[in-house]
Amino acid sequence: RDSVVLVADIGGGTSDFTVVRLGPTRARHAHDRSADILATDGVHVGGTDFDQRLSLEQVMPLLGFRHIGPQQREVPSAVFFDLATWHLIHWRYVPRALREAQALRVNYTDPALHRRLMTVLDQRLGHQLAGDVERAKIATSDSGGAAVIDLGYVERGLRSGFDASAMAQYLDALLTRVVQCARDCVTQAGLAPQALDAIYLTGGSSALRPFQQALQAAFPGTPLVEGDLFGGVAAGLVYGAAPQ
């Protein structure tokens, strides 16, 4: 049936929204569907931002993030933000960055924390850390329980983790921005939230349970429909490239 749908594409780096008219009546105008696109909007927040926040809260403190040094100041934080950000990790392995990290030793009261940091950098474990955080995020989202991050490859017996409640708390500010963007998109379309027939989810990060819960709270009673979370963009490119 003909419907008005909010398409929510939550990817790794951005969250993008489109309000569109769909259905058999609209499909008869296949040569030009531009009038069916009622609004588009987006925000530069995605899955990698969620991973970064979780890493900064639960893993980076084990390496010295927010650690108070002998001068009663926090250890400089740039290295921890880089290690928690997928596309910046490799820059921390270059010789100059390694020397800078080694020089941070004087900023630590607890030398064990600095040793862990240097182990991660010297052995190039940054992407492994980031991957473990992402897997814990997915496991917690899927189960609604807790996930353990085993960091024994950094130091024997070292562990971290979080449960669903903590994850929702850590991600609250980011999810608020994403959901507000969805609200803005519907407003730009000239619609009230209750006028939507469905919200269509695509992009891997749209499966995150706290995001879906926040979306349902913002659009109560509107059904969520999961599409091809990981292949939707590729399929769209194929359709777009097909000869008319």
The secondary structure of 130-186, three-state, reads HHHHHHHHHHHHHHCCEEEEECCCCCCCCEEEEEHHHHHHHHHHHHHHHHHHHHHHH
Claim: this prediction has a pTM higher than 0.85: yes
213-225 per-position pLDDT tens digit: 999 999 999 999 9
Among 236, 198, 181, 182, CA closest to 23: 198
Mean pLDDT of 75-80: 97
Among 232, 138, 224, 242, CA closest to 182: 224
Q: Please report the pLDDT score of residue 244 as a whole number.
A: 63
Q: Please report the pLDDT score of residue 204 as a whole number.
A: 86
Kindly report the length of the chain: 244
> Within a 10 A sphere around the Cβ of 176, how many other Cβ atoms?
13
95-146 per-position pLDDT tens digit: 999 999 999 999 999 999 999 999 999 999 999 999 999 999 999 999 999 9
Q: Please report the pLDDT score of residue 96 as a whole number.
A: 97
Q: Please report the pLDDT score of residue 151 as a whole number.
A: 97
Q: How far apart are CA 162 and CA 144, in angstroms?
A: 11
Residue 97 host element (H or E):
helix 95-103
Q: Please report the pLDDT score of residue 227 as a whole number.
A: 79
159-183 per-position pLDDT tens digit: 999 999 999 999 999 999 999 999 9
